[in-house]
Amino acid sequence: MSYQRSMRRDPRDNNNQSQIQSVIISSPDKTLLIVVAFLVIIGFLAIFSATAPKCLDEGGNPAQFLIKQLICFVVGFFGLKFFMNYDYKKLADWNVIIMSAILLSLFLVDFTPLGVVVNGAKRWINIAGFQLQPSEFAKPAVVLLLANAFRKDANLFDQNKWVWAFFPIIAMAGLIFIQPNLSMVILLGMTTVVMYMAAGGSMKLFLSCVGTMFVTVVIGLTTIIKPYQLQRLKTWRHPESDPLGAGYNIIQSLIAFASGGFSGVGYGGSIQKLSYLPECHTDFIFAIIAEELGFVGCVLVIGLFFTFMQRGFVIAARCPDMYGKLLAVGITFSIVFQAFMNMSVASSFLPTTGVPLPFISYGGSSLIVSMIMVGILLNISKKRIKKIRNRF
C-alpha cells in the first residue's frame, strides 16, 4: 500500500478538525476476488453435473462441456489479469474501436450467413469453430461509453448533443432487439438508467426515461415480439395452461426447486437434468443447483452475488474520480442485475428471458466478458480515498 501524490481537504467538513483526503494505491479487493473464485468453481461443478449424463448417453466425453468452459475461463483469466493492471482511465481511448467492432459483429450476426440460430434466436457468430455472442460484449461497451459521457456532463440528456453521444448505444440495442434478445436490451437500458442516476442526473428526467422505456417495451411486446416470446408471456404465471409447450420449462424448473427442498438431493443426484429440463446447463442451471444443493445452495449463490454487489458499490464509493465511480457502478449493476434476472426466471418470478447466470452458466462469451469486467473492477479497487483527520 502506498500514498499517491498530494492530499486535499474535504470541503464538507465544518468542524475544527478538518478532513484531508488522500488517494491510496493498494492491492485489488481480495473479497471480490474470492467471491468470483467461488462463483466460477460452483459454475464448473454445476456444468459438469448438468451435462455429464447427456454426454455419456451420446457416447462422448462426460467432461466435454466442462473442458470447453475451462478453456474459456483461461481466456477470461488472462483478460482479467490484463485489465486489472491496465490503467482504467485509458479505457476511454478504446471507445471508438470497441463500438465499431461490436456494431460490425452484431450486423454480421443479424444480416449475414455467419449468424447462427439456436432455439429460434439468431444471437451467435461462428468463428473458427467457436460460437461467440456479440451482444454479451455490448455490456462492458455500454458501461465504458456511458462512464465517459456522464463524467463530462451528468445532464447530457438535457442537451441536443445527447443524440450523438448515445447513437452507438441506440444502434446496438436495435441490432440486439431484432435477433431477438429483448432481455439484453432491458439489461442495457436499466444499466443506462442506473449510471445516469449515479452520475447525478435529474430525477425528473429519470422518471421520463423510465416512462419512455416502459412505453417502448409495451409497443415492442404488442407489435414486434416474436410468437414464441408472446406465448412465454401468456404462460408465465400459469404454465400449467400449456404444460407440454411454452410452460414446460418453467414447470420442470419448479419441480427441480421442489425436489431440492432444504438441503438438496446431493451433488450429481438431479433427476431433472436427465432430459426433463432443457437448457439445464445454461438458462436453468440455477434450478439444477437448487435441486442438488437445495435451499442452502440457493442461499449460498444469492449471498455470493449480494457480496459481489456490496463490494462493487464500496469500490465505487471509494474511487477518487468520477469515471472510475461510474465504471464500478455500471459493471456491478450489470452483472448483479443479470444474475437477478436469471435466478428470477428459474424460480418463475420473471418470464423466460434467456440470459445466463454470470460466472456459473455454460457459455464462453458470458464467462469471458464477466471476467474482463471483474478485471476492470479490481483495477478500480486499487485506488481509493482515505480520509485523515488533522487538528489545526
Which grid cell is 360?
456459473
Averaged over 350-368, what is the pLDDT?
89
- Return the pLDDT at 15: 43
Residue matched to cell numbers 414446460: 248
Q: Could you give the percent of the chain with pLDDT greater than 70?
A: 81
pLDDT at 18: 42
What tens digit of pLDDT does each residue of 63-79 get? 999 999 999 999 999 99
* pLDDT for position 116: 80
Task: Please report the pLDDT score of residue 309 as a whole number.
Answer: 97
Q: Looking up cell 437448457, which residue turns up?
A: 279
Quote the pLDDT of residue 247.
79
pLDDT tens track for 87-145: 999 998 898 899 999 999 999 888 888 888 776 677 888 777 678 889 999 999 999 99
CA dihedral 255, 259, 263, 267 (to 10 degrees): -90
pLDDT score, position 11: 43
Integer Cα distance of 194 and 187 in angstroms: 11
DSSP 328-392: HHHHHHHHHHHHHHHHHHHTTSS-------TTTSS-HHHHHHHHHHHHHHHHHHTEEEEEEEEE-
Query: What is the pLDDT at residue 6?
Result: 38
- Look up residue 133 and give its three cell numbers: 455472442
Q: What is the average per-residue pLDDT within 143-168?
A: 73
What single string gives the DSSP state of each residue in 5-21?
EEEEE-TT--SSEEEEE
What is the Cβ-side half-sphere exposure of residue 314, based on CA atoms within 13 angstroms? Answer: 15
Predicted confidence band of residue 216 (pLDDT cuts 50, 70, 90): low
Mean pLDDT of 282-311: 95
Q: What percent of the chain has pLDDT over 90?
A: 42
Do the Cβ atoms of 375 and 80 come closer than 8 Å? yes
Q: Which of 299, 333, 305 lies closest to 147, judged by CA?
A: 333
Domain locations in the chain as residue ranges:
19-91+136-391
Q: How confident is the model at residue 218 (pLDDT cuts 50, 70, 90)?
A: low
Give per-residue pLDDT as tens, 129-139: 678 889 999 99
